[in-house]
Amino acid sequence: MTIVSPHTPASWRTQAPRADGPVVERPRCQAALRSATALRPVVVVAAPPGFGKTTVVTRWAAQDARPTAWVTLDPFDDDAERLLGVVAAAVAAAHPGAAHGLPAAVRAAAGSTGRVLDALVSVLTDLGERALVVLDDVHLLTSPAARHAVATLLRTPGPRFVLVGRYVPDLALGRGRLAGQVGDLGTRVLALTPRETSDLVRAWGGPADPDVVADLWRATGGWPVAVRAACAAGVLHRGRPQRALRPQDVPVDDYVREEVLGALPSDVGTFLRRACVGRVLDPPLAEALAPGGARLLEECVGRGLLPPDASRALPWHDVLATHVRVVVGRTEPSVVRTVHRALARHVAGTDPAAAVRHAVEGHAPELAHEVLGERWPELLARSSLGAAVRLCGAVPAQAGGRDVATATAVSRALRGESRPEDHDAAAALVVRALVGADAPTTPHDLLAAATQGDATGTVVAYLVGRAALHASDTPVAGVPAERCGRGGLQHVVDALADAAEVAAVRGWPVLALACRAEHALACARSSRVAEARARAQGVLGDAAALGPVSAPATAAAHLAAGLVAFWCDEQAPARRHLTAAAQAASSRPALAARAAAVLVHVCLADGDPAGVADVLATLERRAPAGISLAFLVAAQHDAHGEPRDALALVDLADPAFTSPTGVCRRSDLHRRTGDRAAALAALAGVPDDPAWHVADTVALHASRALLREEPAAAHRDLERALDAAAPDGVVRPLRDRAAALRPLLLAHLGRGSSHEGLVTRLLAADRDAPAPRGSAWTLTERELQALACLPSRMTLDEVAASLFVSVNTVKTHVRAVYRKLGVTSRRDAVRTAVERGLL
């Protein structure tokens, strides 16, 4: 066997190669490599072909003060002894003094891989960190013996090793990575930045126009060989192009076929061709595309050819996939059809629109119609039914079936809508197309008829239930301009819950989510506040997992969550959710208008006049049906301390002013102007109705309490308001009247209320609460902690347990609180603490 040395004809293999063509300095990459080698003994520089790996490492080595032992590997280095001989020759060339005896030692050990390895390791150990060894093209190592030899060499203490290749074979680096002894530089570092792209274009004589360079960088994803190809082919000299440069415009087809596909094992190359056609990468689909597909997928990921997660694909993978598709489409059209058919079956459950498209592209019309017939409710919920029907119509099948006919009828109805982007306006046309002209027309009858659990019944239940929640002529409740009564909603709640369950069972995730979102809103409007909050949060959490496709379905959930947060005086979440719901204006104008109307009240509560003005201006431009702009402007005047101006806007023909909450608002306005008789008259004849919304009930009892002359009657009404507000924390109607209610609330603490904790929180939240007096500072920290527990119903034993002290200690603190506040009872202590701003 011939041992390679610097004096043999193959001496070029132990020298850093020279760059072919202009070289652009990339200090960013060199700095990353310099930092990695300073911290770790082994650094892996791995990326698919064309990323300039060797050039970057060559420029870095030239700037390093240490001599570099460079080895360019070839396929014959799978012989372990030959491989170690090349490395020994490179080390001897780089360190002629310290390693002068190494070639002789290697020759003497000829025929024994272990002895050659021992001689090489001995020299490298003596050199320590002065030794810098670069192994280029390590992906060519395929034999276990060669890989084992390199893995053993890498464990030599002291020297620095840089491994360069298209991917790294099994060199037992896992333990080193866990120990922080192995660094990795991949495509994220090696891809060109926009500035580096500009430098490379100029170096190759291309135009320096920033817009052209930015266009090229976007199209190539920073793949250096693609940038060079574009310069060499004159792609950048297109004058003023009518469209942006696309990946397929960059001529790298031959490079992809020869350097990427041609260099792969046959099974990996076959799989890559199919995977790139599909654009979807996961193990189940990989198994459907090729035998052992999951293993081949993992190998492609390990080689850097495919992203580990298709949802976070790097730009370069798009370039590769584009040109692989071009090659496969030109040379293997039958493969393209096979892959599209497999994709149609694979994504039918998660993306039916894509499934129809793949079936059509795979020349499988029967499959396309099958997906359409099974998934049309989901396509309708995703606003992609029309496109799917048109695709299927372009490739007629021998038998479409009843479901396909239904989907076609619904699509035709949608095309007849003058504003198809308005989902609420189009819903009536869809329902008419589904149930026929002779079917019942009232929402209650329609929902009763839509209980068979099939596709038509589920869609009708969803659309009719949604329409009932957003109709402009339904009674107001809870918040003026936010409509729907409590008593007549149970059939809507039940129908939407059933529709959501059927949609989930049938595998229509976005439709199920939309039904659940409307169900959450129906719960909010029917006083099921806690349930509405929980269901809205569940919808929004599941929508995040589904991704952007579910965004239109979540508007109702945002409105439900915003309403609940507003009623419970949680202003920041209310503003966030209502703003999200209002942004659905393009597809759900009625829902967006209701969200905006409630957002006005949130901005008023926050003292945000600019926000109020912006929302009112938006509502005035849209002029939505069922929204009382006069009521909202009156509320604005009231918030600014202008009750007479607000009263001037009252119109008893407007349902907002005659609703329970509107009546309470009118009464409050008269009371603020000093007209008690008019305030009482506004509330006269308004009976307690169990069908009212809880927010209306709280507002009515609070308004009555403020007008009672007898203290006992006032406290009875206040207690009723607290009874209604306490279970779900619907305190916004009380907070709206905080200043007027404050004296009554303070007095209420001494009357044995069952809601002392809630009263205390209301008083503490009042913005007009007095500043703490000087005596507050006489209470110690422990006494203040004990005081904070007094408004609750906890016993002294429970207070002691919560503070992790003994009962006797708590008693001592409580006695001190009583003495310092000048009171003799727990109730008086709470009232006095609130007055002094201590709670």
Residue 76's CB is within 10 A of a number of other CB atoms, namely 11
CB 591 within 8 A of CB 559: yes
Sheet hosting strand 132-136, strand order edge to edge: 68-72, 132-136, 160-165, 42-46, 182-185
**548, exposed or middle or buried, with CB in 10 Å at 0-12, 13-18, 19+?**
exposed
CATH number assigned to the domain covering 770-839: 1.10.10.10
CATH 1.10.287 for domain 628-751, yes or no, is no
pLDDT the model gives residue 792: 67
* CA-angle at 478, arms to 476 and 484, nearest 5°: 35
Partnered with residue 476 across adjacent β-strands are 483
Compute φ and ψ for 72, nearest 5 degrees: -100, 110
Q: How many CB atoms lie within 10 A of CB 719?
A: 19
| Distance between CA atoms of residues 322 and 316, nearest Å | 10
Q: What are phi and psi of 43, to 5 degrees?
A: -125, 130
Structural contact between residues 688 and 694, judged by C-beta atoms closer than 8 angstroms: no
User: Highest-confidence range of 568-582, 753-767, 771-785, 787-801, by mean pLDDT?
Assistant: 568-582
Q: Residue 251's pLDDT is what? A: 86
Q: Coil, helix or strand for 182?
A: strand
From the number of C-beta atoms within 10 Å of its C-beta (0-12, 13-18, 19+), residue 2 rates as exposed
pTM, whole model, 2 decimals?
Answer: 0.71
**Which helix (H) or strand (E) is 46 found in, with range?**
strand 42-46
* Confidence (pLDDT) at 444: 62
Q: How confident is the model at residue 9 (pLDDT cuts 50, 70, 90)?
A: very low
CA angle 693/732/471 to nearest 5° reads: 40
Query: Could you count the other beta carbons within 10 Å of the beta carbon of residue 398?
Result: 7
Residue 685: burial class (beta carbons within 10 Å; 0-12, 13-18, 19+): exposed
Q: How many CA atoms lie within 13 A of 413 on its CB side?
A: 20
DSSP 304-331: TSS-SSGGG--HHHHHHHHHHHHHHHHH
Quote the pLDDT of residue 471: 67
Q: Name which residue leads in pLDDT, 319 or 7.
A: 319
pLDDT in tens, 26-73: 899 999 999 999 999 999 999 989 999 999 999 999 888 889 999 999
Please tell me the distance from the alpha carbon of residue 580 to that of residue 63, in angstroms, as a whole number.
55
List, in order, residues 6 or more apart from 248 with CB less than 8 Å away.
322, 323, 326
> What are the residue ranges spanned by the domains of the chain?
11-190, 194-251, 416-624, 628-751, 770-839
Tokens in use for 498?
């059933």
Helix, strand, coil fractions of the chain, as percent rounded to 5? 65, 5, 30
End-to-end, the C-alpha distance of the chain in Å comes to: 92
- What is the arithmetic mean of pLDDT over 649-675? 87
Percent of the chain with pLDDT over 90: 18
Model confidence at 399: pLDDT above 70 = no
More confident site: 559 or 405? 559
* pLDDT reading at 115 higher than 50: yes
What stretch of H or E contains 738? helix 738-748
pLDDT (mean) for 324-337 = 88
Do 385 and 463 form a contact (C-beta atoms < 8 A)?
no
Q: What is the mean pLDDT of residues 574-586?
A: 85
d(CA 805, CA 548): 52
> pLDDT tens digit string along 68-106?
999 999 888 888 888 888 898 888 888 888 777 787 887
DSSP 258: I
Phi first, then psi: give them for residue 141, nearest 5 degrees.
-80, 115
pLDDT (tens digit, 9 = 90+) per residue, 451-502?
666 788 888 888 888 877 776 656 555 565 554 444 457 778 888 888 899 8
Count how many residues are written for the chain: 839
Does residue 767 surpass a pLDDT of 50?
no
Mean pLDDT score, 330-359: 89
Give me the architecture of the 416-624 domain, per CATH: Alpha Horseshoe (1.25)
- Which runs of consecutive H residues, i.e. helices, occur in 303-401? 315-331, 333-347, 352-361, 365-381, 385-394
Amino acid at the residue 732: R
Residue 103 near residue 92, CB atoms below 8 Å: yes
Q: In 3D, which of 534, 468, 540, 533 has the Cα closest to residue 499?
A: 468
Of 804, 823, 827, 803, nearest in space to 815 by CA: 823
E strand residue ranges, 203-307: none
Please give the Cα distance from 24 to 224 (Å, whole number).
11
Q: Residue 95: phi, psi to the nearest 5?
A: -130, 70
Task: Name the CA dihedral angle for 139, 143, 148, 150, rounded to a multiple of 10 degrees.
Answer: -40
Within 10 Å of residue 824's Cβ, how many Cβ atoms? 10
Within 10 Å of residue 599's Cβ, how many Cβ atoms?
27
Q: Which residue stretches of 436-568 are H helix?
A: 443-449, 455-470, 490-506, 509-525, 529-546, 555-567
Instruction: Report helix, strand or coil for 587.
Output: coil
Fold of 11-190: Rossmann fold (3.40.50)
Establish whether domains 416-624 and 628-751 are of one fold: yes
Do 148 and 114 form a contact (C-beta atoms < 8 A)?
A: no
Structural contact between residues 799 and 786, judged by C-beta atoms closer than 8 angstroms: yes
User: How far is it, in rounded angstroms, from Cα 278 to Cα 353?
Assistant: 15
Q: What is the pLDDT of residues 534-558, one digit of tens each?
A: 999 999 999 888 888 888 788 899 9
Q: Which stretches of 651-693 are DSSP H helices?
A: 655-658, 660-672, 676-683
CA distance 4 to 678: 109
Average pLDDT over residues 258-285: 85
Using DSSP, state whether 772 is helix, strand or coil. coil
Reported as a single tens digit per residue, the pLDDT across 591-622 is 888 888 899 999 988 888 888 888 888 888 87
Number of alpha carbons in the 13 Å side-chain half-sphere of residue 756: 23
> 160-165 and 132-136: which strand pairing?
parallel
Tokens representing residue 193 in the block: 């930045």
Report the pLDDT value the prediction gives residue 440, as an integer from 0 to 100. 55
Q: What is the pLDDT of residue 466?
A: 80
**Above 80 in pLDDT, residue 626?**
no
> Per-residue pLDDT tens for 176-216?
888 889 999 988 899 999 999 888 888 877 776 788 888 88
Q: What does the radius of gyration of the chain's CA atoms come to, in whole angstroms?
A: 38
Average pLDDT, the chain: 82
Query: Distance between CA 443 and CA 90 in Å, rounded?
Result: 85
